[in-house]
Amino acid sequence: MVAADQFLMDRYRAAHLLYADAAAVAEPKQQHLMPEVGNGFVAAKAHGRPSKLGDYLMVGGVYNGRADSGDKELDGPSHRAQLPSFLPSVEGASAATASAHTALDMERAAFITRGTVGSGVAVEQRLYAHWTRPHLLVQEFHLSSSAPAEVSFTAPKDEALWSSGIDFSGTTLSPPKPGLRIVTGSTRISETATSNTTLVAMVSTAPAPVRLRAGGNTTVFVLHAVSTSLNGSTEPSQVLAEAMGYHAAGVSAAPQLWQEHTAAWQERWADGRIEVGGDLSLAQSVNASLYFLLSAIREDWPFGLSPGGLASSDYFGHV
């Protein structure tokens, strides 16, 4: 068993942290308590494996199919549409890496993965849906090496450009400038015969390989910005321009993103929480339930909470 560091273990014992792998804490997996990372607008599931953070993304209010018909020819019934995920992972950071552990930090609303890659490159990945920048899903890769090394990143291929409910056949696969991956599309079927389909645009960082000297360290920020016509714009070019703007603003603020996000969540927890003493399992369950609710809804995005949260298709994503 590879022991987690003392800071993380203290947070675990305080019921602020849940581990997806039993080896980290010598206890059963807690994956059943681990909902997605979300901010009420965008959310991603995690599967407890460093290479499987976020197979897909979902956006609040983006539905496909007729609400008044179960006719499969209309791609119904109405269901929450999935966006393909292009969340990269560090090459070599797989479930077989002996020292890799994934945890949900409920207090800071982030999935944390720690492990090693190759010969002596330590990696900590943070994945979070930024609370004060709701259109932004953030990945931070904190890298350090005990020897000279090159770290590369892998992401799903273009063949993974699929979606349950969104047509990306006319998407922009060739980015307008290096370092970006862009997809645009719309839901296939409107919710009613008289309503419009929903336009969607996603702009993601395509990280370049990083060279580390012996004893060197760096942080790589990978940002995913999402915009939809539900935000007000009705033209594909406008929706894409909004997503580009959200991404650019995030890049400019990258060193402050984590501090902004965690400070906002600290304020949210200060507004009210439930403290349980003497029963760690019960405290974890209570904290996970409250986190589940807080991460799935927001005041400025008027869409209800479905069973399983924003990244779930339970009840087809409906209330």
User: Which CATH number fits the domain that encloses residue 19?
Assistant: 2.70.98.50
**pLDDT tens-digit series, residues 169-187:** 766 545 567 889 888 999 9
Residue 73 has pLDDT above 60, yes or no: no
In a domain, 144, yes or no: yes
41's tokens: 């607008």
- Give Cα 150 to chain centroid, integer Å: 26
The whole-number pLDDT of residue 29 equals 65
Tell whether 315 is covered by a domain: no
Task: Look over the chain and give the mean of its residue pLDDT values, rounded to a whole number.
Answer: 83
Residue 318 lies in a domain: no
Instruction: Average the pLDDT over 75-93 and give the result.
Output: 78
**Pair of tokens at residue 293:** 């609710």
86: containing domain: 6-296
- Look at residue 317 and tell me if it is in a domain: no
Give yes or no for a contact between 207 and 153, defined as CB atoms under 8 angstroms apart: yes
Average pLDDT, stretch 8-19? 80
State how many domains the chain has. 1
In terms of Cβ atoms closer than 10 Å to its own Cβ (0-12, 13-18, 19+), residue 200 is buried
Domain-located, residue 32: yes
List Cα–Cα distances, 139 to 7, 25, 136, 219, 312, in angstroms.
Answer: 21, 25, 10, 10, 21
What is the C-alpha separation between 119 and 210, in angstroms, rounded? 15
pLDDT above 90 coverage of the chain, percent: 40
Domain annotation covers residue 319: no
Distance CA 267, CA 11 (A): 18
Q: Is residue 314 a part of any domain in this protein?
A: no
Section 267-290 average pLDDT: 90
Residue 177 φ/ψ, nearest 5 degrees: -150, 155
Structural domain includes residue 273: yes
Q: Where in the chain does DSSP place strands (E)?
A: 17-19, 37-38, 42-46, 53-64, 79-84, 89-90, 101-105, 110-117, 121-129, 136-145, 149-151, 153-154, 166-167, 180-187, 199-205, 210-212, 217-228
Indicate the pTM of the whole model.
Answer: 0.89
Among the listed residues 200, 199, 198, 253, the one whose alpha carbon sits nearest the alpha carbon of residue 223:
253
